[in-house]
Structure 1
Amino acid sequence: MENVHQILAIAGVFIYWLFLGAIALRLVIKRRTIGVSFSWILVIYFLPLVGIIAYILFGELHLGQTRASRSKAMFKPYGQWFAALYQHPLHTPERQSEHARAISQLCDTQLGIPSLSGNQLNLQHTPSDILNAIIKDVEQAQESVTMEFYIWHPGGLANEVAKAVIAAAKRGVTVKLLLDAAGSRTFFNSTWPSQMRAAGVTLSQALSVSPLRMFFRRLDLRLHRKIVVIDNRTAYTGSMNLVDPRYFKQREGVGQWIDVMVRMEGPAVPLVNAVAAWDWEVETSKRCLPAPPGLPINTPENTPESDSLVQVIPSGPGMPEEVIHQVLLQSLYQASRKIVITTPYFVPSENLLDALVTAAARGVDVNIIIPQKNDSTMVKWASRSFFAELLKAGVKIHRFRGGLLHTKSVLIDDEHCLIGTVNMDMRSLWLNFELTLAVDDKVFSQSLRNLQKGYIENAEQLEYKRWQRRPLYQRVIEHLFYLFSPLL
């Protein structure tokens, strides 16, 4: 019996090291960034068994066989839909600024999605303005309402949006809601889903979570987009989930969440709607590609001097890898005068860190605005591990005191901006389903500049010498989380 136990023990150790070797070999073959590979090797070798299980669950970017097959079949029809827009009269590459031209060419190559001019954008930055505007547009909807959110949390004005959605469905408007299963767990456990379905709302969970699914799809893959489209004519996207901050995460001790949304009209709206249609088809297998954009109606407000040229940039599994990461890098390297970044979760890639340090070294005024208090302990400490290098290079770091700053934006030279759902961390850049708008419009960029200026005025600016005097135990914790930052 003792010999049997010894044989089993030896076999178990052999199988365990075989697994370790196989995973290490796969990390080498996949040719991920050195930081990501190194972090996973640390996990699997220093967390016995737990590390292997963690890699199996979270180490591979697999969408699941059904969704992956469905996505592959969708490439051709969606590609044809987007390709036709290159002949649209409002595809005007000759009007692009130098900032926009390089990004547009990158998206042409990687995504096959053109930029379109003739859009009217409105930057909204208070919860009441955002939610009341959505309510008003839903109340005026005549044909369709499509919503897609990571989080829908009941309470306050979020309930008024739900009532408006139910009323629209009852009067015959086609209403579709796609909500992330994990992010909107509280909503799905409430009475709202049954009320909505009873009224005729088509409601679907994205990326459902269950113990069985973990063997077929990566569990931490999430639908992080925030999209509202009304009648294929008006759209919203940005950083705000469908929540009223007064009723959301009040016990976290970080204050109310601070967000923005962009309300848009014009030819870019059907592109945003097509992204939502893609997600809907991946989840439900039902195709609902929208009508392509028509020509704008000539009005005093719709003139070449006042419109915005917009590049819609989706990302996520099934789409070209790293596209938003590449756009971010391109934007940073093009900056000649000023960069202002707002992000709640700052865990940059090695390339992004180099781009920020390099920009500061060549005299660009680089500003990063992050919340002073964060709802993620791991991200907080990992983020802090980058501060010394950035501050030493001349990058200005501002810690916002007015709540959890959740706005995701990049402003380049006060003229060109990126705004949407993407955090500056690995999860947003390489994993989740995200959406960013690249906006080439000095007027809109000025609105964002004014908003960012307000953030900075309500923030503490870190000083390098003072930061260097922080306690030793904090440095140890920072360095520990730095090792795992490529996985956060």
Structure 2
Amino acid sequence: MDPDERELTVTNLGAIDPLGLGYIAVEWAIRIIMLVVVPFRRSPEAARGWLLLVFFLPIPALVLYLIIGRPTYPRWRKRRFEAAQDLLARASREIKHSQHCCRPDLPERFLPAALLIERLGQFPTLGSNSVEFLSDYDGMVDRLVADIENAADHVHILMYMFADDLTGGRVVDALLRAAERGVACRVLIDALGSRPWARRLRRRLASGGVEIERALPVTFFQRRSTRVDLRNHRKIVIIDGRCGYIGSQNLIAAEFSPGLVNRELVARTSGPVVLEFQAVFVADWFLETGRVLDSPALFPHHHPRAGAVAQLLPSGPDYPISGAERLIVALVHGARHRITITTPYFIPDEALLKALQTAVLRGVEVKLILSRVADHPLVGLAQRSYYDELLRAGVAIHLFHDGFLHAKHLTIDDEIAVIGSSNIDIRSFLLNGEASLIIYDRTATAGLQAEQALNIARGERLAPEQWSQRPLLAKTVENVARLLSPLL
């Protein structure tokens, strides 16, 4: 080597930036450490998504992981949830022991599902319930306002999004009138879901004697703060412990997202199962306020009459076992003839994907009713990445065209109906507090199937040949989004 070249090489080596070397070392240290940490107590799908992000963007991935990497609450909330579990257990015992809430005799084929739900969420099956499905958006608000106007003792509302717009304002006005009559009104809203309206809502309701609290507030540098991605996504209303609402609809205008009209479904219920709604509200109220609601009027007796058998399944990261996911997988495995699932977000884990494919192989007719338009583009891309293998397996996919189908429900054979707030995605399975009403009744299931048939008629069935011919770029983008689906 020429002396001048040797001198130049030595000079270049000496000019290497120590900060640059340190940065590279830090990135590789993060990759190696996260390779060990991430897979611990995490599904292979979730680990894959995190490790992909870590490989390409190690430092941002580490920051994100420290913020939302583990679906766990602070220690103080875990202790409070243990106390809340005692409240749920006590309420469940009271319901079971009531002479008017006796456990009904279920056909043997329903017993495994009923036992699973009870062990996951503590609540038993209860008979003598009536269920009415409300798909008209404004009509549901009309019914709710009318029920609040007739309330005699209390109104409890647990809502992810409660807006101070014209739609939410109608409910606010009804609550203020009820409070003026001496009805105890309590409202629990998710701090993030209702954040744009929370301040005005609290001012209006509190000034009229309505108690209002925020669930899971996020505040920086305060002990009582919680993680931004863990939300209370339940949508429940209880009136006098006798009438209840559960489903997908928030208290907000149907067109709150520009260009999208939300299509929803809510179950208006009466009967003993409303007491299970009540128990969930009482537990959530205690979790957020530390105050126990123990008035006997909250759990009135329901006199026996003809009606459907039903039970409630609450689920979320507070619970040690993922309830919503296990319920759906178990019901799919138990289906004998037909399964119809309606959801706005379909990003299944491996267990559910295999269960649906296996159901088709067993001769079960499987239908998915999904929205053609998506309100979250990345989620929509990830969802579409599953269509190919589902279509090849024989699953029928129906894309709803008339607005954004935000309803969340399913039917199994002609005998079991499920409706609530839970989507078919990792967020609902692991990160959100959800509630699902399970109904063991042919009449109620037929009613829900009629709603499903209307949704199918307002869309089109996806043709496998047509879907397989979409551009390669679209397939590539969808599959990249799928790799990140555990983070969505």
Partner of 1:171: 181
Q: Which residue of 2 aligns with 1:198?
A: 207
2:262 is the alignment partner of 1:262: no
Correspondences of 1:57-76 after superposition (within 5 Å) = 57-76=67-86
Q: Which runs of 5+ in 1 are unaligned?
A: none
* Aligned length in residues: 475
Q: 2:237 aligned to 218, 222, 228, which one?
A: 228
* SS, match of residue 389 in structure 2: helix
Report the CA distance shift for 1:286/1:475 in structure 2 as closer, same or farther (over 3 A): same
- Checking the alignment, whether the CA contact within 8 Å between 1:99 and 1:331 is kept in structure 2 is no
Partner SS state of residue 380, structure 1: helix
Q: Give CA-to-partner distance per residue, 1:219-269, whole Å, 9 cap, x none.
A: 1111100011111111111110012314x11x1x33x10111111111111
Q: Percent identity?
A: 31
Question: Secondary structure of the equivalent of 2:58?
Answer: coil
Any idea what the Cα deviations from partners look like across 1:338-363, whole Å, max 9, x if unmatched?
11110001111111111111111222
Is 2:71–2:431's contact at 8 Å kept on the other side of the alignment?
A: yes
Report SS of the residue matched to 1:49.
helix
Give the drift of 1:202.
0.9
Where does residue 271 of structure 1 map in the other structure?
A: 276
Q: 1:136 corresponds to which letter in structure 2?
A: A
Partner of 2:46: 36
* Alpha-carbon spacing, 1:296–1:377, altered in 2? closer, same or farther (3 Å): same
Distance 1:293 1:210, change over 3 A: closer
Q: Secondary structure at the match of 1:38?
A: helix
**Alignment pair present for 1:27 and 2:33:** no
The code of the aligned residue for 2:143 comes to A
- Find the aligned partners of 2:295 and 2:57 in 1 and give their Cα distance: 48
- Aligned pairs for 1:208-227 within 5 A: 208-212=217-221, 217-227=226-236
Aligned with 1:228: secondary structure?
Answer: strand
Q: 1:436 Cα shift?
A: 0.2
* Equivalent in the alignment of 1:46: 56
How does the TM-score come out when normalised to structure 1? 0.92
Q: Cα distance 1:209–1:409, how it changes in 2: closer, same or farther (>3 A)?
A: same
> Residues 206 and 212 of structure 2 are in contact (CA less than 8 Å); yes or no, is this contact kept in structure 1?
yes
| C-alpha contact (below 8 Å) 1:408/1:422 kept by paired residues | yes
2:455 is aligned with 1:451: no
SS at 2:303 equivalent? coil
Between structure 1 and structure 2, the one with the greater Rg is: 2
Question: Match for residue 368 of structure 1?
Answer: 368
Say which of 194, 204, 217 aligns to 1:184. Answer: 194
After superposition, what is the alpha-carbon deviation per residue over 1:166-192, rounded to whole angstroms, capped at 9, x for unaligned?
A: 111122211111111111122224x33
- Asked if 1:436 corresponds to 2:441, the answer is no
Q: How far does the alpha carbon of each residue in 1:21-76 deviate from its partner, in whole angstroms, 9 at most, with x for none?
A: 4433222332x211111111111221131111111111101222322221123333
Q: Is the 8 A contact 2:104 2:309 kept in 1?
A: no
> Which residue number in structure 1 is paired with residue 302 of structure 2?
296
Q: Give the residue type in structure 2 aligned to 1:197.
A: A
Q: Quick one: structure 1 residues 212 and 399, their matched pair in 2 at CA, closer, same or farther if it must change by over 3 Å?
A: farther
Q: TM-score, normalised by structure 2?
A: 0.92
User: Is the contact made by 2:67 and 2:227 (CA closer than 8 Å) also made in structure 1?
Assistant: yes
User: Conserved in 2, the CA contact under 8 Å of 1:339 and 1:410?
Assistant: yes
* Maintained 8 Å contact 1:91/1:115: no
Structure 2 gap segments, 5+ residues each: 1-12
- Aligned to 1:63, the other structure's residue is in SS state coil
- In structure 2, do the counterparts of structure 1 residues 369 and 16 end up closer, same or farther at CA, with 3 Å as the change threshold? same
Aligned residue for 1:81? 91
Q: 1:157 offset after TM fit, Å? A: 3.2
For the residues of structure 2 that align with 1:61 and 1:393, how far apart are their CA atoms? 32
CA contact (8 A) 2:219 2:225 kept: no
